[in-house]
A and B are shown apart, each in its own frame.
Chain A
């Protein structure tokens, strides 16, 4: 097991998978932020991306498909000293876990959520994910995907998220900057990471993304929600990457009367004198 640096282990991903680059960027970012791996908890659901916690030397939680967010926020709630990061796929985060995605934006616990978004279900061999293009053909959607693609960044901004960014696994420097900003952001921060699937997505390839993505510059006002929504709707010939929206707002801990002073609930008990008082109240 690793010491004080973020090692990686042999993975089960396909050669050329975008996950390698994302894992590498995560490892580099955490190192640059000088995080002690012992204080870092990486959480995943189930899927190819959700195996990320397996491949990095830090605390890890590999839970259920679609359910990465609830245990992640709860771990952070009871131990605010942890740096909690979710690495999970688009199926996990937006499909099976859609309800947790929406409502944990509202809860605003200080975690970073990195969604490896390749528009397909990789582990089950290529079915359409919520972000799949209309018309995308695979073994299940044999006549092409009929559903309107889910727009995660627009949804996040609309739901009240304080930090919404998009990046591309093919631009590691950009990705590392986005990861860094998301981890440092106080509150729920999501980065939708565009990522090719070499095995099952023959349309949205590295070259396809690489041709389309462009970095947001100073002309974009990330503090303007409407402007952010407008950029969030841009997905086609040109896809903006960068911080679409950023605005600090009170976090779950800051608003919670029992947690606002940094309380840690790990291995704590309740005061027996209080219990006795509660019993007296019932006499």
Chain B
């Protein structure tokens, strides 16, 4: 497996270069996982992307590099220490460095000679492909650039790639693999595609990193699918619109990051109280408040579980990887509609912005929930007491009765009441959904040994890093390690956890936050206490290697 970093200032084309390279490498057969480390600025600073690729699936990023494409001198100085022996640093001849591993190439001069200084990065792409033994043909170059640049710039970019390719010798053997027919998809795209599959018809949001690309992808597909994507005046408007659309009968979703979620919380209660299905996405970033706008963290777990005043049922699903983002988003819509509750999807910047090569997703794998038809007759009551506690839905415009939504405590018809008896019955009706949800929740996934000595606990996007960490730790052969990675986090599944916790010698929580929020939730719900925590809250995701190193260092 190889790991290639492309670094430069914002505006230098780091992201575009990485996108073209990862696509090309995947086409050659390799499995791919790319992470993006971006600064919250449009120009300058230091951005980089890391493409990890090989015949095996890279389940997360790695700190160790085989190659660096340095679009500026700063990239060399920042990342040089992570380069393995025998790796390379590819940079323009003008970059001042005398490093032994440097391969200097007159990228700017070649580009200028071809007639456009901006194709220098394509010269670098060509050279990197050659260094990693990735085949390059004119037809392939042509098809790649046809997808990524305007028609008039295709030829010059193809020439630039060819020039770069022929300017350097091959350094590594091609990594191999059978992923050429895989999809290359980001976490946010997988979520958006899941929403489309689930039949989302209305998406309202206010732009906020790192959630905005969900809205961008849905907008791109809105004309063809006929869905409405509405940029609201604020986060509060966005969620209240989604609630209104859902009340009227359209599958609706709103998305944001933690700051936007903070503004949405009152309306989360509205969906709970008025029993209106709603999917709310929180793509987490480091807080509090503005925090690190373009970086990653898992610090909204306890917040979203308890957000909004009063008590109402909700479900919280943390997304673990790209496939999970797709399928769990479909499931979220189903659960929201079946139980008439808000369902919160917890993602984070690491998953949202990273891309992975994955086998084709199956748009028919999860059947869409088909609600029973509401009762006939004028005496329709939106909040009818039923055996299950779920009242059949109808939508405004029905010929049978009237449809009401009310945030006040209400009777079966949605009229305001203040009596104790109705209050108690309505509370029991709503809160009773939690018991129904407990029948539906999915147990966390166990990675590694079936009966571990050391049990790691994690959730969400640490799935990939934990998978690699457990593999590395078990290779040492001293103890048996495994990781239990939660997707459904509320209601909290307890069976597998209790079973493993009773026999494991040590339980260690691994989380991207300061306080160990999952560990705290587990302690609260099950009484199980962890022995130690591996925590990170600098906005950078733990890698599998880093988790394994820290576990060993702490003596576990």
Contacts and interface: CB of A to CB of B under 8 A. Distances in A.
B424 interface: no
Nearest to B400: A38
B395 A267 contact: yes
Interface in B11-28: none
A147 interface: no
B249 A78 contact: yes
A265 interface: yes
A198 B368 CA distance: 53
A261 to B, nearest CB: 10
Contacts of B360: 279, 283
Contacts of A78: 201-202, 228, 245, 248-250
A245 B250 CA distance: 34
B526 interface: no
A251 interface: no
Interface string B349-371: 00000000000110110001000
Contacts of A46: 407
B245 A74 contact: yes
Interface stretch (B127-135, B411-419, B495-503): B411-419
Interface in B168-213: 181-185, 189, 193, 196-197, 199-202, 204
B1 interface: no
**Chain A contact patch, size range:** 35 or more
Nearest to B238: A70
Given A74-B248, A267-B395, A279-B361, A99 B237 contact: yes
Contacts of B230: 74, 77
A282 B183 contact: yes
A73 interface: yes
Interface in B225-251: 225-228, 230, 232-234, 236-238, 240-245, 247-251
Contact of A39 (B182, B249, B250, B397): B397
Given A266-B250, A275-B193, A63 B270 contact: yes
B183 A57 contact: no
A64 B270 contact: yes
A270 B240 contact: no
Interface string A57-86: 111111110010111111101110110000
Nearest to A58: B402
Interface in B361-417: 361, 363-364, 368, 378-380, 395-399, 401-408, 413-416
Contacts of B221: 274, 278
B363 A275 contact: yes
B92 to A, nearest CB: 32
B233 A100 contact: yes
Given A271-B225, A283-B181, A62 B202 contact: no
Interface of B: 181-185, 189, 193, 196-197, 199-202, 204, 221-228, 230, 232-234, 236-238, 240-245, 247-252, 266-267, 270, 274, 360-361, 363-364, 368, 378-380, 395-399, 401-408, 413-416
Interface of A: 1-3, 9, 12, 37-39, 41, 43, 46, 51, 53-54, 57-64, 67, 69-75, 77-79, 81-82, 99-100, 102-104, 256-259, 263, 265-272, 274-276, 278-279, 282-283
